[in-house]
Amino acid sequence: MIVGHSTATTNATRWLNDREMRAWRSYVETRSDLDAAIESDLRSTGLSLGDYQVLVFLSEAPERRRRMCDLADDLQLSPSGLTRRLDGIVRRGWVERIGSDDDRRVMLAALTDEGLAMLESAAPTHVDSVRRHLVDLLDDDELDALARIFGKIRTALDDA
């Protein structure tokens, strides 16, 4: 029995049917294992998956710089969570914190040349891992469906 699921509950709760529960459980039980597998493969490069994501976001930003508050939003981190995430990669010289020329109240995270080199070095390992654990397991129709599904969910979350 599902906790809280009894015949005494109100009709306001729309319990998941068997198909919906299979889909939800499949997602929940796979997501963390997939992340762990990719994280494990990436470890040989000296980067965590979180560090890799920081470097990717900064590499795609104009001038390889991003406002700290925007980067935190991109990574779904609090400002203090971003500070902790950046501390290690700043110490390694892959990212630097710099003040904004436009607004002295704003701090930027900037990808250094060393950080870009690290990202370029780690990217083949990351891509191979994503291929092995996800992309190569799916056919073209499944990949298209996956992109549509998560695009739809992303849009709904952004709109909320």
pLDDT per residue as tens digits for the range 11-32: 689 999 999 999 999 999 999 9
Size of the chain, expressed as the number of residues it contains? 160
Give the model's pLDDT for residue 105: 84
Q: State residue 97 phi and psi, 5-degree precision.
A: -95, 130
- Rounded to an integer, the average pLDDT of 81-102 is 93
- The residues pairing with 97 across neighbouring beta strands, listed in sequence order, are 109
Task: Flag whether pLDDT at 10 surpasses 80.
Answer: no
Confidence of residue 102 (pLDDT cuts 50, 70, 90): confident
Give the model's pLDDT for residue 37: 96
Give the model's pLDDT for residue 7: 53
- On whether the 45-159 domain is CATH 1.10.10.10, my answer is yes
Q: Which H or E element spans position 107?
A: strand 107-111
Look up the pTM and report it.
0.84
One-letter amino acid for residue 73 of the chain = D
- Rounded to an integer, the average pLDDT of 57-71 is 95
Report the b/e string of 51-68 with b at 16+ CB within 10 A: bbbbbbbbeebeebbbbb
Task: Flag whether pLDDT at 88 surpasses 80.
Answer: yes
Confidence of residue 3 (pLDDT cuts 50, 70, 90): very low
Confidence of residue 104 (pLDDT cuts 50, 70, 90): confident
Q: Please state, rounded to an integer, the average pLDDT across all residues of the chain.
A: 92
Confidence of residue 1 (pLDDT cuts 50, 70, 90): very low
Residue 6 corresponds to which tokens in the numbers above? 């009894």
Ranges of each domain in the chain: 45-159
- Rounded to an integer, the average pLDDT of 131-157 is 96
Task: Flag whether pLDDT at 117 surpasses 90.
Answer: yes
* Per-residue DSSP letter, 67: E
Residue 42 in contact with residue 52, Cβ under 8 Å?
yes
